[in-house]
Structure 1
């Protein structure tokens, strides 16, 4: 069954399938300048956090969503500790242990964050979704290379730790049918437009569809 994926700036994604609604990584960049508001997500069943960087985890926003809805939160040990300190209960995502999030299946994959200038690098959890969509979070680790030829790859296209050639080479290696770009919420719109156009051109040459989701709430069916 198809998954409807909506992007709400940067790495915040809403996945919908057969009535199940799962929100990934509502981070601070999504709510800057009031481009996205909590009410835009509607009813939620799950929130999934890949790691504790603030552009992926806005603790206050998650707290408000949990307080207002009957939903569950999934994240790794560090995510659980961070949110637990605020009284928010988190189901711990264990590497290799599948989680049934309603109608959506999630396989947590422990991976390292791409190299960054920080003394404390957070734990990162990538997710295989319904055995056909790979969300790599902020990692291009070799462990992810085993999942080739999937229907879609959710991949960061801009970051202090990435170049466009690294993104292109990683995607080509995994050869998905399509790409959902994330991690582009800190750039001005004109730059995002340019970067999306570049990737669209090069991925098309490689036979890979590039889903350019640039406006809050833009949706694609996978």
Structure 2
């Protein structure tokens, strides 16, 4: 098995003749030129996991690649004219390499933000991509794609998840937000007190308050 990372949560898994791309989102780059893909797997509908602008061109270059995703994202993709097969926990896919589907829901970001469906994928019985969920799969995991930073997680939760899964190898993913704080800022503005002004100050800038 070979793993290639394309920033944030996007990874390409190659096993034999199978080439499976997971979560080509808008914080990732380099996946756009890939060809010969067997399938594209999407864990959930958030833009950092599925880029609706670049996905059609990717699929045009990979006409044999099928798209698999959760039920909610399948509806979003259908609205964008992209055909996808909805999968649920317990499903098994034969994509040239076996893929087992786990999980059902995204982690809670804030009680006022609706929870969306989220599925994880165990590829080849070895590598597990959880998407944005800290629900441990009820199987042994050899290699874990380990979410590193997100508005929905604390470091303590990440460590607890790592200890619960007990992988032999952990591969950090979902780390682009460490360099892109704007997503956090957006949540502060939307969910903060009414009438609050959010003032971001870049390093080296001076503002009058």
Distance 2:98 2:35 in 1: 21
Contact 1:145 1:173 in 2 (8 A): no
Counterpart of 2:40 (choices 47, 54, 59) is: 47
Of Structure 1 and Structure 2, the greater helix share is in: 1
Q: Deviations over 1:137-191 (max 9, x none)?
A: 11112xx25234x2111120111121222212211222110101111012239xx
- TM-score by length of structure 2 reads 0.79
1:68 matches 2:66? no
3-state SS of paired residue (2:53) = helix
Contact 1:80 1:92 in 2 (8 A): yes
- TM-score by length of structure 1 reads 0.74
In structure 2, the partner of 1:182 is 173
**How many corresponding residue pairs?**
178
In structure 2, the partner of 1:166 is 157
Give the deviation of 1:55 after TM superposition: 0.4
Q: Deviations over 1:55-114 (max 9, x none)?
A: 001012111111222111111111211111122111221321201112x11111133211
Distance 2:168 2:77 in 1: 35
In structure 1, the partner of 2:197 is none
- In the superposition, relative to structure 1, how do residues 68 and 112 fare at CA in structure 2: closer, same or farther (>3 Å)? same
Structure 2 unaligned regions, length at least 5: 181-209
Counterpart of 1:90 (choices 56, 71, 84) is: 84
1:152 matches 2:143? yes
Query: Where has structure 1 moved over 3 Å in runs of 4 or more?
Result: none
In structure 1, the partner of 2:25 is 27
Distance 2:156 2:114 in 1: 27
- In the superposition, relative to structure 1, how do residues 94 and 166 fare at CA in structure 2: closer, same or farther (>3 Å)? closer
- In the superposition, relative to structure 1, how do residues 14 and 164 fare at CA in structure 2: closer, same or farther (>3 Å)? same
3-state SS of paired residue (1:60) = coil
Structure 1 unaligned regions, length at least 5: 190-222
Higher relative contact order (CA 8 A, sep 6+): 1
1:112 matches 2:75? no
Output the aligned Cα RMSD: 1.8
- In the superposition, relative to structure 1, how do residues 166 and 110 fare at CA in structure 2: closer, same or farther (>3 Å)? closer
